[in-house]
Amino acid sequence: MNFAASLCKRLTVSNLVTKIPVYSSARGELFTVMYLRRASLMLHKSRRSFSSSHDIASTIDELNKEMEFVFGEAPPTSLTGSSESQPISQDSEFTPVEKINMEMENESKLSHISVKGEAQMVDVSHKDISKRVAIASCKVILGKKVYDLVSANQVAKGDVLSVAKIAGITGAKQTSNLIPLCHNINLTHVGVDLRLNPCDYCVEIRGEAASTGKTGVEMEALTAVTLAGLTVYDMCKAASKHIQITDVRLEHKTGGKSGDWSREKKQ
């Protein structure tokens, strides 16, 4: 431990940095012994007169200057290195977990809500035009009795699957009229497929929407399968009130800033 550090410890003064070189020569050792004896006497006398940490700091500064006069200026050490010369990366301010949380927070912001908390229609004028495709699905659980009627095409209102398919396509084209903040999109394709599943007596509905534009077609695909499911319910409700429309969800989407997404890959 060098002299200044020892002195700081004795006087219980923190945050005082000193510069004391180390010499191995006989001349250096002699000067060191002489200096320490003198400093010891000064310390003994000064203990009675120190009235504040300012007095202690002044005394230590005086001792450091005298040592520099005797031994010369001390070489720079790690203690005297300034952190200002080392640029701090902004990335180091955040931990990896904090970065992930920030990214998730940015992604989870609702685009249809303004800074004032009011509903708004998103401005897509600055977005790039790209091909966008979305696929959605849902199920209509009929029960065995109604399932048998639909599969035999014996429902009083007619061909359930054909009518529901047309309803789904029409619904996709009317999405902006049904969902208040949706954009009026020029659809390039809408497809709706309905299949009977004998395992759980249901109708499986799958809808696809496509467009080349500045906003996605997820809502169009979801509207298509929802309207098709509602039509199945309407045409079969006279036979049973236990029909359920379930699992309305997005399955896949491509295009846009967020890129491709698939429920299968997500799981």
What residues act catalytically?
234
Residues ≥6 apart with Cβ < 8 Å to 62? none
- Provide the token pair at 192: 């709706």
d(CA 181, CA 241): 33
Which residue in this structure is represented by tokens 């047309």? Answer: 166
Torsion of CA 109, 115, 118, 122, to 10 degrees: -60
CB under 8 Å to 139, separation ≥6 — which residues?
Answer: 202, 203, 204, 205, 229, 245, 246, 247
- Amino acid letter for position 11: L
Q: What are phi and psi of 99, to 5 degrees?
A: -65, -45
| Rounded Cα–Cα distance for residues 137 and 202 (Å) | 13
